[in-house]
């Protein structure tokens, strides 16, 4: 399984992300169009690939990790936010750590 995030807001090195789904690993190579009216409709693009090492995981609170991708490399954090509110809030802040 892998986790997919969509970018909501980009501000310099800080992004707000929304957790959208977990998909079977067989979907990892899919790029293309998902037709309107179907779940996940729109364009799917693979932006980067690489390794992930989780350093600290506190479910529904924060994830500290290191990426070794083709485009993104370094230490990063995902921090759960209250942006969007409600019980179904799935928004996270994403930023690069020093």
pLDDT level of residue 2 (50, 70, 90 thresholds)? very low
* Extents of the domains making up the chain: 2-25+48-96
Q: How many CB atoms lie within 10 A of CB 26?
A: 7
pLDDT of residue 1: 37
* Cα three-residue angle 29-67-90, rounded to 5 degrees: 75
Q: Is pLDDT at 39 greater than 90 in this prediction?
A: no
Of all helices (H) and strands (E), which one includes residue 26?
Answer: none
- Is the pLDDT reported for residue 17 higher than 80? no
pLDDT score of 35:
95
Q: Is the whole-model pTM more than 0.85? A: no
Burial 56-94 (b: 16+ CB within 10 A, else e): eeeeeeebbeebeeeeeeeebbbebeeeeeeeeebbbbb
SS3 content of the chain, % helix, strand, coil (to 5): 5, 60, 35
Give residue-wise pLDDT tens across range 45-97.
Answer: 888 888 888 899 887 788 899 988 888 899 999 888 876 666 666 677 888 89
């Amino acid at each position: 399984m892998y986790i997919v995030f969509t970018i909501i807001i980009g501000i310099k090195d800080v992004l707000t992300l929304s957790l959208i789904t977990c998909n079977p690993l067989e979907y990892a190579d899919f790029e293309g169009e998902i037709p309107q009216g179907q779940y996940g409709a729109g364009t799917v693009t693979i932006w980067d690939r690489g390794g992930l090492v989780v350093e600290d995981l506190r479910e529904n609170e924060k994830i500290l990790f290191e990426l070794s991708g083709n485009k993104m490399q370094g230490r990063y954090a995902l921090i759960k936010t209250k942006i969007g509110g409600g019980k179904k809030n799935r928004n996270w802040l994403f930023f690069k750590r020093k």
